[in-house]
Amino acid sequence: MGKSDVSRVPSLMGKQARRYQAHTAKNDDLCRRLQATDPSDPTLSLEFQTQRQTEFLLEALWLQQHASETGQKLMTLQTEIGKSYNNRDDVGSPAMAKVGMKRSMGSIRNNLQEDSKCKEI
């Protein structure tokens, strides 16, 4: 990311925020479906219960991978943004915006890492 790419930072941040929000919504949906499913429901066959649990597990694994990929993209973006801000020559760069951006990205990254750890368990 060069000096001319710094203007793309807000759109790149927005893209990562939308990915994070989509991931969170999918997590919430999976949790709701898991809670609504009674694994000991006597009206369901054992085969159907096993199939349903397998589908939930596969979806959780996919979400875990998605969280990991999104976190990696976020770390790459954060590194590139840091490099571009450190290489800027203008003395009046908005330091508070830079700090706020780092906090936002760090918070999202930490939440994705925590989410991924929970799914591993």
Taking only the tens place, the pLDDT of each residue in 14-42 is: 887 788 888 888 888 988 888 888 777 78
Model pTM score: 0.61
Rounded-to-integer distance, Cα 18 and Cα 110, Å: 16
Residues with Cβ within 8 Å of 64's Cβ and at least 6 positions away in sequence, in order, are: 115, 116, 119, 120
pLDDT category at 58 given cuts 50, 70, 90 is very high
Express as a percent the part of the chain with pLDDT over 70.
Answer: 69
Question: Which residue is associated with the tokens 């006597």?
Answer: 42
**Cβ-Cβ contacts under 8 Å for 80 (sequence gap 6 or more):** 1
pLDDT of residue 91: 46
